[in-house]
Structure 1
Amino acid sequence: MIRTLLSRALSLILSLVVASVVIFVMLQAVPGDPAAFMLGLNAQPDTVAALRAELGLEGSLPARYLDWVSGMVVGDFGTSYTYRVPVSGLVADRIGVSGPLAAYALLLTVVLAIPAGLIAASMRGRAADWGVMGATQLGIAIPNFWFAMLLVFVFAITLKWVSAGGFPGWSDPVAAIKALTLPAVALALPQASILARVLRGALIDTLDQDYIRTARAKGLSRRAVTVRHALRNAAIPVLTILGLQFSFLLAGAIIIENVFFLPGLGRLIFQGITQRDLIVVQSVTMLLVFAVIAVTFLVELAYTLADPRLRRR
Structure 2
Amino acid sequence: MTAYVIKRLAVGVLTLLVASLVVFGALEILPGDPARIMLGMNASPEALEALRSQMGLDRPVALRYLSWIAGMATGDFGRSYTYSSPVVALIAERVAVSLPLALIALALSTAIALPVGIFAAARRGRPSDTVAMGLAQVGVAVPNFWFALLLVYVFAVGLRLLPSGGFPGWEEPWPALKALVLPAVALALPQAAILSRVTRSAMLEVLGEDYIRTARAKGLPQRMVLWRHALRNALIPVLTILGLQFSFLLAGTIIVENVFYLPGLGRLIFQAIGQRDLIVVEGVVMLLVATVILVNLLVDIGYAAADPRLRTGR
Alignment of 1:39-188 (within 5 A): 39-188=39-188
Once superposed, what is the RMSD of the aligned Cα atoms? 1.1
Cα deviation for residue 186 of structure 1 reads 0.9
CA contact (8 A) 2:140 2:194 kept: yes
What is the CA–CA distance in structure 2 between the aligned matches of 1:231 and 1:6, rounded to whole Å? Answer: 28
How far does the alpha carbon of each residue in 1:221-243 deviate from its partner, in whole angstroms, 9 at most, with x for none?
22221111101111111111111
What TM-score does the superposition give when structure 1 sets the normalisation length? 0.97
Give the structure 2 partner of residue 288 of structure 1: 288
Give the structure 2 partner of residue 241 of structure 1: 241
Cα deviation for residue 159 of structure 1 reads 2.1
Give the structure 2 partner of residue 310 of structure 1: 310
Give the residue type in structure 2 aligned to 1:72. M
Gaps of 5+ in 1: none
CA contact (8 A) 2:257 2:266 kept: yes
What is the CA–CA distance in structure 1 between the aligned matches of 2:50 and 2:224, rounded to whole Å? Answer: 72
How far does the alpha carbon of each residue in 1:4-52 deviate from its partner, in whole angstroms, 9 at most, with x for none?
3222122111111111111111111111112111211111111111111
How far does the alpha carbon of each residue in 1:233-254 deviate from its partner, in whole angstroms, 9 at most, with x for none?
1111111111111111111111
Give the structure 1 partner of residue 16 of structure 2: 16
What is the CA–CA distance in structure 2 between the aligned matches of 1:165 and 1:232, rounded to whole Å? Answer: 39
What is the CA–CA distance in structure 2 between the aligned matches of 1:37 and 1:237, rounded to whole Å? Answer: 45
What is the CA–CA distance in structure 2 between the aligned matches of 1:168 and 1:105, rounded to whole Å? Answer: 19
Count of residues paired in the alignment? 313
How far does the alpha carbon of each residue in 1:136-175 deviate from its partner, in whole angstroms, 9 at most, with x for none?
0000000111211121122222222222111011111111
The alignment partner of 1:50 has SS state of helix
CA contact (8 A) 2:37 2:276 kept: yes
Asked whether 1:251 is paired with 2:251, we answer: yes
How far does the alpha carbon of each residue in 1:251-291 deviate from its partner, in whole angstroms, 9 at most, with x for none?
11111111111111111101101111111011100100000
What is the CA–CA distance in structure 2 between the aligned matches of 1:7 and 1:231, rounded to whole Å? Answer: 27
What is the CA–CA distance in structure 2 between the aligned matches of 1:93 and 1:27, rounded to whole Å? Answer: 24
Q: Which moved more, 1:154-163 or 1:92-101?
A: 154-163
The alignment partner of 1:266 has SS state of helix
Give the residue type in structure 1 aligned to 2:34. P
Give the residue type in structure 2 aligned to 1:25. G
Gaps of 5+ in 2: none
What is the CA–CA distance in structure 1 between the aligned matches of 2:132 and 2:246, rounded to whole Å? Answer: 23
Percent identity between matched residues is 60
